[in-house]
Amino acid sequence: MAQEQKQPRRSSESEESTTEVTETDVAERKEALDDDVDAILDEIDDVLETNAEDFVKSFIQKGGE
Amino acid sequence: MSVRRVMGTEIEYGISVVGQPMANPMVASSQVVNAYASATVRARRARWDFEEESPLRDARGFDMSRQVADPSQLTDEDLGLANVILTNGARLYVDHAHPEYSTPEVTSPLDVVRWEKAGDLVMLDAQRRAAQLPGGTAIVCYKNNTDGKGASYGAHENYLMRRATPFGDVVRHLTPFFVSRPVVAGAGRVGIGQDGRTRGFQISQRADFFEVEVGLETTLKRPIINTRDEPHADPEKYRRLHVIVGDANLAEVSTYLKVGTTSLVLAMIEDRFITTDLTVEGPVAGLRAISHDPTLRQTITLTDGRTVTGVQLQWEYLDLARKYVEDRYGSDADAQTLDVLARWESVLDRLERDPMLCAGELDWVAKLKLLEQYRQRDGLGWDDAKLALIDLQYADIRPEKGLYHRLAGAGRIERLLDDDAVEGAMHDPPTDTRAYFRGRCLEKFSSSVAAASWDSVIFDLPGRESLQRVPTIDPLRGSRAHVGDLLDSCESAEALVAALTR
């Protein structure tokens, strides 16, 4: 992967397409990010205790130290 | 000194018996500790030796009388609660209503992380074993510091310091550091106020439970600087700084920076390197104010009139530490000291730009990011029970259920150590402190060890009328370099004691 990153960007791509490419990139990245967030939350949903209210109410501790 | 010194941590875990919210927590804690002890501690179980404990000794130079002490402060009385010493040199026991794990003495921040993480695995193993006992119930431990209903339990740090350092210097220079330290080392909490009645998120689990600046107590009127002074070492040379103001961390980088930066600040105090006065006006209120603002824009006022954010106050200490290390070591500084400095700077830089950039390293940011994602997706207000659940379940020590563990397992939170290193530390002691001697004795001669503590190992040997106490008063002796060959070559505890007392 380190090698891949070291490859210089090809400069043959025309200047005029730069802005367009950037916008598409941002949109794609945002979409990928949203998918990523969905994936995390789906995974967390699967393991979260089912009745949040009951669980929180019954988590009672005594002071310590 | 650098980030290196003799240090360790003590974690009290939250405990709950599944489906039985009113279950007696002392019983449950004992079940957990005893289940681990029965399964792993061979032969006789060495008891804790209380001889050197003096919990009412005050670093300011006087003893509190027993009559005025709260009963919860009398930790040196053997209450008959479960209490074992492990082969890794750690202590596993019941403290009040919580199972507690004290790491063995180590000498670097990364080793604190390693043996503290090993403690999480010990506790996980212990709760699983407790559930398998006849009539056993499912017990779950949580590495957090509050139930959100007014109760708090501690995650303490211990640092060995030079006795010659005036305690007033420690108070003066450490208080502003501790007031601001949560921006790096906070574990994050849903709810504001001791009982969490005000909705919202704050950076620290513990901040709301601190009420005074300096004091001996740990269970009531908690002080930012705790004065308990039991060095477990030569009291002429050393004090043990007992730090109670921190949160229990799951994220390895949080723990690493918490103890690494603190150790560096202590080194500067010992060497009288800090000449600027960073004293905070109203540190107790300042600690809370900083904790209550996860945007990190909250300012506090210094006695010199400046107003600074928590991150800016941390920058002051970082700048001093950089100069200190450069001044004392130049290019000879050790790798871990340089790593702590680099990570500290990197974290502060990103916290200043956008705290969310630290979601892959710091507990409070990781937790807040997850909470914000839920709030956005499900449209939840801060009073929604689901957010409080996420806060609690972040600290569930089970890899399959704990949200920290899910995030770390998916590569979303950085690890500093691999699983093998941490699992090894469940059984192996550190090699460079007296914990090595203690751990190896328990591993090799457990049937002959009657009791042990930080500063002794006591043998019960056949043919000897009295118990043989081997003092381990110097934390840096009893290391592998000192006694490794001897322990390897002795076939029996008698031979070992004979060689040591020759």
Per-residue pLDDT of B23-52, as tens digits, reads 999 999 999 999 999 888 765 667 777 766
Of the listed ranges A32-41, B62-71, B120-129, B269-278, the least confidently predicted one is: B62-71
Which residues from B are below 8 Å from A63, CB to CB?
96-97, 151-153, 219
How far off is chain A from B64, nearest CA to CA, in Å? 18
How many other C-beta atoms lie within 10 A of the C-beta of residue B409? 14
Dist CA B144 CA B359 (whole Å): 18
CATH topology classification for B7-424 = Creatine Kinase; Chain A, domain 2 (3.30.590)
ipTM rounded to 2 decimals: 0.89
Nearest to B224 by CA among B292, B171, B153, B277: B171
Q: Cβ separation of A48 and B389 shorter than 8 Å?
A: yes
Amino acid identity for residue B203 in this structure: I
Which residues from A are below 8 Å from B377, CB to CB?
37-38, 41
Q: What is the pLDDT of residue B334?
A: 96
Residues in B whose CB is inside 8 Å of some CB of A read 12, 14-16, 21-22, 25, 72, 95-98, 100, 142, 146-149, 151-154, 156, 218-219, 244, 370, 373-374, 377, 384-386, 388-390, 392-393, 400-401, 403, 406-407, 410, 412
pLDDT tens for B163-183 read 999 999 999 999 999 999 999
Q: What is the pLDDT of residue B61?
A: 53
Long-range contacts of B417-422 (CB under 8 A, 24+ apart): B417/B110, B417/B113, B417/B114, B417/B117, B417/B252, B421/B114, B422/B114, B422/B117, B422/B118, B422/B121
Dist CA B289 CA B409 (whole Å): 33
Instruction: Tell me whether strands B189-192 and B210-215 are parallel, antiparallel or unpaired.
Output: unpaired
Contact B149, A60 (CB under 8 A): yes
Dist CA B198 CA B65 (whole Å): 38
**Token reading at B36:** 């681990």
**Token reading at B121:** 């695995």
pLDDT band (50, 70, 90) for residue A1: very low
Dist CA B292 CA B470 (whole Å): 49
SS3 content of chain A, % helix, strand, coil (to 5): 70, 0, 30
pLDDT band (50, 70, 90) for residue A34: confident
pLDDT band (50, 70, 90) for residue B77: very low
Nearest to B34 by CA among B75, B84, B70, B79: B84
Dist CA A30 CA B172 (whole Å): 48
Nearest to B158 by CA among B259, B12, B86, B287: B259
Percent of chain B with pLDDT over 70: 93
Which helix (H) or strand (E) is B202 found in, with range? Answer: strand B198-202
Nearest to B370 by CA among B410, B333, B332, B404: B404
Dist CA A24 CA A27 (whole Å): 5
pLDDT tens for B458-499 read 999 988 889 999 999 999 999 999 999 999 999 999 999 999
B406-432 average pLDDT score: 97
pLDDT tens for B287-297 read 999 999 999 99
Write down the residue that tokens 């010659």 correspond to. B164
Q: Tell me the backbone φ, ψ of residue B329, rounded to 5 degrees.
A: -120, -25
pLDDT band (50, 70, 90) for residue B217: confident
Q: Is B485 an annotated catalytic residue?
A: no
Contact B224, B245 (CB under 8 A): yes
Write down the residue that tokens 């995390």 correspond to. A40
**Token reading at B106:** 């180590």
Name the CA radius of gyration of chain A, rounded. 23
Q: Cβ separation of B153 and A58 shorter than 8 Å?
A: no
pLDDT band (50, 70, 90) for residue B145: very high
Identify the active-site residue in B58, B63, B78, B95: B95
Dist CA B398 CA A28 (whole Å): 36
Amino acid identity for residue B106 in this structure: V
pLDDT band (50, 70, 90) for residue B142: very high
Which residue on chain A is closest to B74 by alpha carbon?
A65
Contact B492, B445 (CB under 8 A): yes
| Residue of higher predicted confidence among A29 and B11 | B11
Q: What is the pLDDT of residue B59?
A: 63
Which residue on chain A is closest to B405 by alpha carbon?
A44
Q: What is the pLDDT of residue B45?
A: 67
What lies within 8 Å, CB to CB, of B418 at 6+ separation is none
How many other C-beta atoms lie within 10 A of the C-beta of residue B488? 10
Dist CA B51 CA B362 (whole Å): 39
Contact B196, A60 (CB under 8 A): no
A37-47 average pLDDT score: 91
Domain ranges of chain B: 7-424, 431-501
Dist CA B188 CA B145 (whole Å): 10
- pLDDT at residue A15 tops 80: no
- pLDDT at residue B229 tops 70: yes
A-B interface: how many C-beta pairs under 8 angstroms?
Answer: 103
Q: What is the pLDDT of residue A11?
A: 41
According to DSSP, residue B302 is labeled: B
Q: What is the pLDDT of residue B72?
A: 53
Q: What rounded mean pLDDT belongs to chain B?
A: 93
> What DSSP string describes B419-438?
HHHHHHTTTPPPSSSTHHHH
Percent of chain B with pLDDT over 90: 85
Q: Which of A34, A55, A57, A65 to mutate to probe the B interface, most B CBs <10 Å?
A: A65
pLDDT tens for B319-345 read 999 999 999 999 899 999 999 999 999
pLDDT band (50, 70, 90) for residue A21: low
Nearest to B64 by CA among B235, B227, B241: B227
pLDDT band (50, 70, 90) for residue B79: very low
Q: Which of A44, A59, A64 sits opposite B98 (nearest CB)?
A: A64
